[in-house]
Amino acid sequence: MIDLIIAQVFNGLVLGMIYVLLAMGLSIVWGMMDIINFAHGLFFALGAYLAFTVAAWSGSFFVCLLVVPLATAAIGMLLEVSLLRRLYGQNILYQILMTYGIAIAGRELIVLLYGPVGKSFDQPDLLTGVISIAGIFFPIYRVFVFAVTILLTMGMWFVIEKTRWGSIIRAGTENLKMVSCLGINISGVLTLTFGVAMAIAGLSGVLAAPMRGIEPFMGDLILGICFATVVIGGMGSFTGAVAGGLIVGLSQSLITLVMPSASVIIIFIVMAAILLIRPRGLMGIRD
């Protein structure tokens, strides 16, 4: 039983780290541009499907890890420049409708190109198999995903806390107009930020694909979970996204031990409980 719990805790951490990456992007975009990005789930799905194509074409999973985030970043930046930029400062409902329109058009495009039925995604040969530590088996691929996501999260933390661009992001989350008054080219920063968020979303799609397979509606499900994650963690907070993601991942994988059918509902129960105690989320900094 203890073995099982430890294995599930590990699974929960891996799952949670994927949520962390997605929630981080959602939270940064929200904090900087005040946009609730409904297309975030689309980019997750897009990452997985692009990985499917690139892997078939190049034969290597590791090429995907490099190429796909660049591709999703490029698509994201294109969208920001052509569409989202026109909506800054508008009513939030317009932004939701716009990003939602992008999300459904993109999802249907995926169905059109790849078919409505899901596909399986093979694990890379190099990473198949299990490691046994003290009698408990850990799949190598999950260990790999855990390592990559931890590194990426630490990298993002370093960028946000220690670099000039990061300080612009933090300042922009507080007050974007003021930052622009200080003589910083906001529109370039926003485009880049959106691109990076979409790159991370695409990369988490690539990482998740071998664990769960790919299907056109994968983005919809994950988007709902990400909203809950951001609400739990609190808006515009990096540590909040990390805490929220891990809480969601862990509660989801631990509840499957007792009651597998409640694996999604538990997220929202946790969310409601946290909101009752702390309406602004765990680490929320402002309205």
Interface residues toward other proteins, by CB under 8 A: 30, 34, 36, 83, 86-87, 90-94, 96-98, 100-109, 111-112, 224, 227-228, 230-231, 235, 261-262, 264-265, 268, 271-272, 275, 279-280, 284, 287
The minimum distance between CB 79 and other proteins, in angstroms, equals 10
CA gap 115, 127 in Å, rounded: 28
CB of 144 to other proteins, least distance (A): 30
Residue 190 or 203: which CB sits closer to other proteins? 190
Burial class (CB in 10 A: 0-12, 13-18, 19+), 274: buried
Cβ burial, residue 177 (10 Å; 0-12/13-18/19+): exposed
Which is nearer to other proteins, 6 or 96 (by Cβ)?
96
The distance of closest approach from Cβ of residue 271 to other proteins in the complex, given in angstroms and rounded to an integer, is: 6
Which of 115, 129 has the CB closer to other proteins? Answer: 115
| Least distance between other proteins and beta carbon 286 (Å) | 8
- Beta carbon nearer to other proteins, 86 or 177: 86
Torsion region of 284: left, alpha or beta (phi above 0 gives left; psi -120 to 50 gives alpha): beta
Of the candidates 172, 219, 175, 188, the residue with the CA atom closest to the CA atom of residue 29:
172
Which is nearer to other proteins, 101 or 129 (by Cβ)? 101
**Contacts for 249 with CB less than 8 Å, ≥ 6 apart:** 12, 13, 14, 15, 16, 17, 18, 19
Q: Smallest distance, Å, CB 255 to other proteins?
A: 12
User: Could you give the CA distance from residue 169 to residue 231 in angstroms, rounded to a whole number?
Assistant: 20
